A and B are shown apart, each in its own frame.
Chain A
Amino acid sequence: MDLSAINPVLFVAGFLVAATPLIFAAVGELVVEKTGVLNLGVEGMMIIGAICGFSVAVETGSPLAGFAAAALGGAMLSLLFAFLTQVTLANQVASGLALTLFGLGFSALLGQSYVGIKPPRLGDIDFGPLADIPVIGPILFTHDIILYLGIALVAAVWAVLKFTRTGMILRAVGENHDAAHALGFKVKRIRTLAIMFGGACAGIGGAYISLIRVPQWTEGMTAGIGWIALALVVFASWKPWRLLLGAYLFGGITQLQLNLQGAGVAIPVEYLAMSPYLVTIVVLVILSRDKSAAPGSLGRIFHASS
């Protein structure tokens, strides 16, 4: 065993990157679920975002254009879900699963000519002297703009949901869509916009994997991160900051177990491999003892006549 082989600074900087796709996908889904819609298509929207972002970044040479395209791609795909669930009143669970299936297949089709290409690199932000601060500098000030955007997004979602009229309307629609409708809010329009927001966030999360974390395009490369994001929303009891904590916990322990293995720690690898899931769930279950419940209308179909 040689724990000195683990560089704590690189380790922390590494898990901030590993957690970012999860943060984007989960915070988008959180908003969607807050309005009472359960979209299980996160994985599909992520992978579409991954290929849209990758292809546009490669074609234009601009990673930021790629991220914009990823957001657009994810939002467009989520429109399909919005159409199914809000217009044709289809079952949300089935529609979400269908969206994932469709996204995985469609992305494989779109990505055929992008296998093995290296994407343009999105540079880290230059913080000047800040990056030279020992320990804190390399951890906090050596990342790309999207990573900071993810944290800002969590803060923004929290603030909007908690303090603004928009947030109140979103929550009202999610808690009781009939009451919200009676008060004159356009339930379907609000939900559709939330679904598109969720799609855009998932798309960015996917593009973060294909453009920064891996970076390359491979079929099926999101490999279940969308599903983890879905679980994270529930375990974080629909609270943005808790969601951020959960994502860092998950990313951190995933990185830690790889680091420990590399350092030859004598804990059986199987325990290390399952630890990210276990620890994240346990911590969030303990935190969620405050009985925060899911939005009242979550997963229910709304029709103005009923």
Chain B
Amino acid sequence: MNFTKLLTGAALVVGMATSAFADGHEKTKVGFVYVGPVGDGGWTYEHNKGRLMVEEQLGDAVETVFVESVPEGPDAERVMTQMALDGADLIFTTSFGYMDPTINVAQKFPNVKFEHATGYKRADNVSTYSARFYEGRAIQGHIAGKMTKSNIVGYIGSYPIPEVIRGINAAFIHARKVNPDVQFKIVWAYTWFDPAKEADAAKVLIEQGADVVLQHTDSTAPQAAAQEAGNVVTFGQASDMAQYGPFPRVSSIIDEWGPYYVARTQAVIDGTWESTDTWDGIGAGMVGIGEISDAVPADVKEEALAMKAAIADGSYHPFTGPLKKQDGSEFLAEGETADDGTLAGMNFYVEGIEGDIPQ
């Protein structure tokens, strides 16, 4: 499927590219490479909303193109190369697995600016940007710990990369804080987007006793499975997923890419673009918390909102010691907070989580 969708996408890019110069003046051309379909209702949907905001706010000055459902591998490199050849000035590559392809293509096109989401490799013409989703996951963990009655929280992981592990840890730490008996059951789906598989994973977790399911995959299938089960709590992932509220979806983490995309595109137009590393969270508005529904008890909702406010103004950091790693060794001392380097490369579970991270 991916290959065929890629062909459609590539054909689309070529088609759009040929019409680009028809109206005389040269527009700044911005390309987007998406890992899922724009209609996934989650991750890619939000990136595409950001793209639409660029079109809306910068109007005639820009032209945007996108290719959806691009697999994270050699195909990604071909899509980026094609975009660069078609005259893109700025290319946003929006998935962790595009990191090396982005760097490779950027070397070949020094005059094209690249922006890679959630990666850590930069170059003179490659910026990185990501959002501090773990801040939102800490709040979800708090709600999850309070809401679970079976004390089993299911977690659907996509790939065992630092981003996802950080989210598991953040959610677990805060669930344990309010509920010392809580356990996490983690299932790796090895996909960002596969509704049938995500639904299966959610069903398996529910069958094994989970009454709260957290997900780090992009579709709304787990919400549908939870709704079917009737008494399972879920959270919107990447997008609000409000259609599943007020229950099972009781809150959500929302990605807000639009303002960043507009600012970076404007920088290219103005000629002020520089390679930067952006990592913003709730405070800067890059991570939003979807409305906490009335299915959550009022006091829990209040605590969650208080945590959100404390994270936003910087008075609370979700990774604050004392914390130990899974093997019992020291991670953070009393009152110490994790630095960004540790967070960015996080490859261990905190104490209390069972199971191993797939290596």
Contacts and interface: CB of A to CB of B under 8 A. Distances in A.
Interface of A: 5-7, 10-11, 14, 18, 21, 43, 97, 100-101, 104-105, 108, 111-112, 115-118, 209, 213-216, 218-227, 254-255, 258-259, 261-264, 266, 268-270, 273
Contacts of B208: 5-7, 259, 262-263
Interface of B: 1-2, 4-5, 7-8, 36-41, 69, 154, 160, 185-188, 190-191, 193-197, 199-201, 203-205, 207-209, 219-221, 224-225, 227-228, 241, 243-244, 354-356, 358-359
B182 to A, nearest CB: 15
A39 to B, nearest CB: 14
Contacts of B207: 7, 10-11, 14, 259
Contacts of A6: 208
B4 A273 contact: no
A255 B200 contact: yes
> Across chains A and B, which 9 residue pairs bring their CB atoms closest together, nearest first?
A219-B39, A116-B243, A219-B37, A269-B358, A223-B194, A258-B204, A221-B195, A216-B224, A5-B208
Contacts of A218: 37, 39-41, 195, 219-221
Contact of A262 (B5, B204, B219, B356): B204
A5 B355 CA distance: 15
A268 B40 contact: no
A117 B243 contact: yes
Given A43-B1, A105-B8, A269-B188, A216 B204 contact: no
A contacts with B: majority SS: helix
B200 A101 contact: no
B97 to A, nearest CB: 15
Question: Among B4, B69, B187, B358, which residue has the most Cβ atoms of chain A within 10 A?
Answer: B4
Contacts of B37: 108, 218-220
Nearest to A44: B4
23 contacts: A6-B208, A14-B204, A18-B196, A101-B7, A104-B1, A108-B37, A213-B200, A214-B221, A215-B228, A218-B195, A219-B37, A220-B40, A220-B69, A221-B195, A221-B219, A223-B193, A223-B195, A224-B2, A258-B200, A261-B186, A262-B204, A262-B205, A263-B208
B39 A108 contact: yes
A104 B4 contact: yes
Nearest to A104: B5
A204 B5 CA distance: 22
A259 B204 contact: yes
B41 A115 contact: yes
A264 B190 contact: no
A216 B200 contact: no
Contacts of B190: 269-270, 273
B187 A262 contact: yes
A101 B9 CA distance: 10
A26 to B, nearest CB: 15
A214 B199 contact: yes
A243 to B, nearest CB: 19
A270 B196 contact: no
A224 B5 CA distance: 11
A222 B194 CA distance: 8
A222 B5 CA distance: 13
